[in-house]
């Protein structure tokens, strides 16, 4: 029987945790459904969706579709196997990304224990950013780029960038990683590609060939990034999204807070890395320092970048832990029954993972109740159904977080107020959204100005508005559940 050591079991368990966690995540109402709808429309029309189709406040406004290829993949997966296949493939992709990260750490540290531990740490830091959304495809591209740099196999990186730029705006991180590695090679000290199994080892001497190769890779990657429908305009679009998202109060663009799970874990991990560096006295190269500063500043500015910080810092954690712990000793030859126990435990974990897949988890008593759902409990399924049943065309004021699901669920006669692609909307629209949602004194006048004749309001996000609407003689409730309330205008709302 092939010996299955405890170290290999740790590796298996870490990757099993990644897969099991992601595959059990219910689909939230925020992003996936909107991109799925775009993919469905693109498949039907044979054209990339490059203007808004769902909100009457932005009807026809053009935009650069950064993730059109991801939308096409979502549409294919949904048509082939529904949301079950979509969720399963997403979990496989995320697990492959962390497997690549584990391989990088193992190569740098020469220690499977360290590789498993660092990978699990990165997984924990990423846990709140692993939902099914276009950012997920960036995770695998990020890990693949990191892996290729660590192996000094530069030639596939421009090909990755050419795909990445059509899937998600985080392609710029691939360019940044190559650029940092190139800058590091100028001093003769390389970061990822300079690692070996010796703690703190750095490669010197042969930097000139790698300097040239990295520069060529960077240049080709920049050219490859232009292979998208917008060409060079993609950079202006990426730069504009962050500013617009901040202006319109999307919380994932806010700085991390120690009071939130993601922020707390980030600051703990940052402190751990600094303590390890201080205790180990390991001198960082120029590129290592640049990498630390680049990703740390990103994470400090916006909590959605904590996932990139965790993955980007994995090589540094590997070097620091290996510097303190030393190389791994071969495991002792234990009794054969111990290997059998390891195989048996791995088999039990594997069976649980199979039972947790979307096709089986709904009837699996071992899966927690909330994880048995295919769709998250905060998705307004019944509320959207009530809206869909309202007669005639409608102009609907909705909760921003529900916009994507409503775009997917409602027909073209029923237009919503807003959705998560906030950069599509004029700033005045998002300002009015906040005023109305918070029950401003002019809330009804603003609704009349937009000729809104139906409302779908969240009992959490719009709790201040709901009592005001209930007291108004101009609205009546058509449906209510634990998530929210649907209102219909008693007569058409006309602009004053």
What CA–CA distance (Å, rounded) separates 26 from 377? 8
Q: Phi/psi at 365 (nearest 5 deg)? A: -70, -15
Contacts of 182 (CB under 8 A, 6+ apart): 211, 214, 215, 217, 218
How does pLDDT run across 83-128, given as a tens digit for each residue?
A: 999 999 999 999 999 999 999 999 988 888 899 999 999 999 999 8
What's the whole-model pTM score?
Answer: 0.89
CB neighbourhood size of 281 (10 A): 9
What CA–CA distance (Å, rounded) separates 260 from 240? 27
The enclosing H or E element of 83 equals helix 68-109
Which tokens go with 372?
């048995």
Per the CB < 8 A criterion, the answer to whether 207 and 311 are in contact is no
pLDDT of residue 30: 85
What CA–CA distance (Å, rounded) separates 210 from 154? 9
What distances in angstroms separate CA 38 from CA 35, 49, 59, 65, 412, one per listed residue?
5, 6, 14, 10, 13
Beta-bridged to residue 475, according to DSSP, are 489
What CA–CA distance (Å, rounded) separates 221 from 339? 46
pLDDT of residue 212: 86
Beta-bridged to residue 488, according to DSSP, are 454, 476
- Angle at the Cα of 75 from the Cα atoms of 251 and 246, rounded to 5 degrees: 15
How does pLDDT run across 37-94, given as a tens digit for each residue?
A: 999 999 999 999 999 999 999 988 888 898 999 999 999 999 999 999 999 999 999 9
How does pLDDT run across 226-281, given as a tens digit for each residue?
A: 999 989 988 888 877 766 654 455 677 788 888 888 899 999 999 999 999 888 77
- DSSP conformational letter for 65: -
pLDDT above 70 covers a percentage of the chain that reads 89
Contacts of 431 (CB under 8 A, 6+ apart): none
- DSSP conformational letter for 369: G
Per the CB < 8 A criterion, the answer to whether 125 and 307 are in contact is yes
Burial (CB < 10 A; 0-12, 13-18, 19+), residue 422, is buried
- Angle at the Cα of 288 from the Cα atoms of 286 and 291, rounded to 5 degrees: 110
| Gyration radius (Cα) of the chain, Å | 25
């Amino acid at each position: 029987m092939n010996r299955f050591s405890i170290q290999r079991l740790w590796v298996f368990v870490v990757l099993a945790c990644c897969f099991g966690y992601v595959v059990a995540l219910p689909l939230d109402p925020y992003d996936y459904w909107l991109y799925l709808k775009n993919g469905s429309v693109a498949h039907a029309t044979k054209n990339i969706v490059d203007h808004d189709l769902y909100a009457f406040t932005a009807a026809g406004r053009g935009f650069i579709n950064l993730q059109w290829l991801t939308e096409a993949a979502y549409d294919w997966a949904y048509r082939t196997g529904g949301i079950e296949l979509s969720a399963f493939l997403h979990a496989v992709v995320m697990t492959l990304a962390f497997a690549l990260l584990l391989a990088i750490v193992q190569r740098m540290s020469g220690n499977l224990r360290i590789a498993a531990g660092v990978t699990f740490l990165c997984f924990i830091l990423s846990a709140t950013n692993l939902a099914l959304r276009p950012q997920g495809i960036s995770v695998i591209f990020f890990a693949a780029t990191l892996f290729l740099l660590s192996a000094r196999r530069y030639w596939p990186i421009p090909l990755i960038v050419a795909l990445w730029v059509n899937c998600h705006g985080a392609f710029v991180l691939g360019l940044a990683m190559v650029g940092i590695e190139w800058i590091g090679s100028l001093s003769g000290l390389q970061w990822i590609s300079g690692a070996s199994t010796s703690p703190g080892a750095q490669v010197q001497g042969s930097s000139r060939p790698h300097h040239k190769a990295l520069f060529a890779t960077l240049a080709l990657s920049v050219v490859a990034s232009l292979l998208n429908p917008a060409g060079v305009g993609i950079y202006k679009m990426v730069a504009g999204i962050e500013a617009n998202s901040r202006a319109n109060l999307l919380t994932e663009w806010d700085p991390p807070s120690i009071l939130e799970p993601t922020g707390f874990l980030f600051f703990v991990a940052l402190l751990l890395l600094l303590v390890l560096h201080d205790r180990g006295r390991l001198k960082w190269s120029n590129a290592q320092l640049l990498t630390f500063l680049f990703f740390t500043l990103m994470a400090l500015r916006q909590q959605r970048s904590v996932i990139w910080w965790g993955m980007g810092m994995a090589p540094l954690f590997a070097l620091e832990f290996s510097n303190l712990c030393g190389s791994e000793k071969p495991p002792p030859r234990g009794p054969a029954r111990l290997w059998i126990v390891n195989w048996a435990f791995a088999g039990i974990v594997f069976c649980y993972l199979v039972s947790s897949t979307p096709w089986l988890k709904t009837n699996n008593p071992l899966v927690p109740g909330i994880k048995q759902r295919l769709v998250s409990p905060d998705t307004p399924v019944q509320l959207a159904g009530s809206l869909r049943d309202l007669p005639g065309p409608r102009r609907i004021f909705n909760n921003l977080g529900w916009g994507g699901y409503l775009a997917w669920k409602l027909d073209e006669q029923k237009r919503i107020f807003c959705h998560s692609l906030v950069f599509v909307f004029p700033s005045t629209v998002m300002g009015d959204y906040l005023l109305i949602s918070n029950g401003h004194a002019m809330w009804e006048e603003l609704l009349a100005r937009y000729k809104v004749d139906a409302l779908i309001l969240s009992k959490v996000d719009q709790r201040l508005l709901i009592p005001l609407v209930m007291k108004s003689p101009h609205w009546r409730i058509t449906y209510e559940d634990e998530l929210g309330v649907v209102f219909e205008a008693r007569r058409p709302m006309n602009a004053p």
